[in-house]
Amino acid sequence: MKITVVGATGLVGREILNVLEEFQVPFDEIYFTASEQSVGKPLTFKNQNYTIKSLNEVINLKPNIAIFSAGSSVSLEYAPKFKEIGCYVVDNSSAWRMHEDVPLVVPEINFDSIKKNDFIIANPNCSTIQLVMVLNPIYHRYGLKRMVVSTYQAVTGTGKNAVEQLMGERQNLPNIKKVYPYPIDLNCIPQCDVFLENDYTKEEMKIVNETRKILDNQSLRITSTAVRVPVIGGHSESVNLELEKSFSVSDIKEILYQTPGVIVLDNPSEKEYPMPILAHGKNEVFVGRIRRDESIDNGLNLWIVADNLRKGAATNAVQIAMRLQEKFL
């Protein structure tokens, strides 16, 4: 069993290493790649020293599973090359998510959509993963007429430079490299990624399109607004659902209590509800503020929080890799 992590030195890459160790993923050999500037440099994993290799070196070593976290351009160029040698690719970028013949997978929901010859598997967007983890059991029990999602997304979703901008502004450092068009500290920026022709951002349309694909329903009515906030450790989402069937809030809570990978944290009288500071470093998705929307029939409000580097990226990818080991390798 040979595993490789592509992009091992980035924020998500380092988190993948943490999750691989935490989950005790079995392997005989493991290889790490990063940018060309990093090739030959040391990397420590599970108290052992490794040397970062180039992508072509790793291809020649013929790994069984490659977990990609190196951006769309790298994935588009190299994922097919890994596929050619019979290596399963779990890709964290957006490069393959909307390809018809590439499964878009959250293991708890639709792992069975992966067939043995599907050598490229897409990891969904971080905000989509935490959303569908909570939405899926409700959708299948009660149906869904319409959904409105507002996200409050941590700077880690943009990368290391965004974290440095936030902390630099907070410390009033000079000559801060700007990732965002405005200050992010003490501010909210209603733009995640670039704007499209319909005046939605790419991030907002990812939520719409990826949710439809994962739930296998292209007619779902979804609208989204994505906001960048000065938070390090997790994305939050305010979700408003209009369900097709009547429900009781207690039944909704019970369904979510029984959902693997979801933790219900909902006790308003004791000020207990999900927050990024509680989700940071955790693999689960947290949901709370579960309450009826009294303005419409069958309306439901939810507050969903997860660590975007964990279940939103690294954890989900490693879970896919482990299931691939069990099923196909």
> Which residue in this structure is represented by tokens 């694909």?
213
Bridge partners (DSSP) of residue 60 are none
Q: How far, in Å, are 240, 284, 300 from residue 270 at the CA level?
A: 23, 22, 21
Quote the CA–CA distance of 139 and 272 in Å, as a whole number: 25
Quote the CA–CA distance of 120 and 104 in Å, as a whole number: 10
Q: Tell me, yes or no, if 140 is annotated catalytic.
A: no
Instruction: List the 29-33 sheet strands across, edge first.
Output: 29-33, 2-6, 65-68, 88-91, 120-122
Quote the CA–CA distance of 299 and 280 in Å, as a whole number: 30
Longest dimension (CA), the chain: 61
CA-closest candidate to residue 214, choices 110, 116, 314: 110
CA-closest candidate to residue 262, choices 240, 242, 290: 290
Q: How far, in Å, are 44, 102, 310 from residue 96 at the CA level?
A: 30, 7, 20
**Residues 115 and 327: beta-carbon distance below 8 Å:** no
Catalytic residue among 87, 192, 235, 280: 235
Quote the CA–CA distance of 284 and 314 in Å, as a whole number: 12
Quote the CA–CA distance of 293 and 112 in Å, as a whole number: 34
Quote the CA–CA distance of 77 and 91 in Å, as a whole number: 12
CA-closest candidate to residue 161, choices 276, 10, 6: 10
Q: Tell me, yes or no, if 99 is annotated catalytic.
A: no
Catalytic residue among 87, 126, 192, 280: 126
Q: Which residues are catalytic?
A: 126, 235
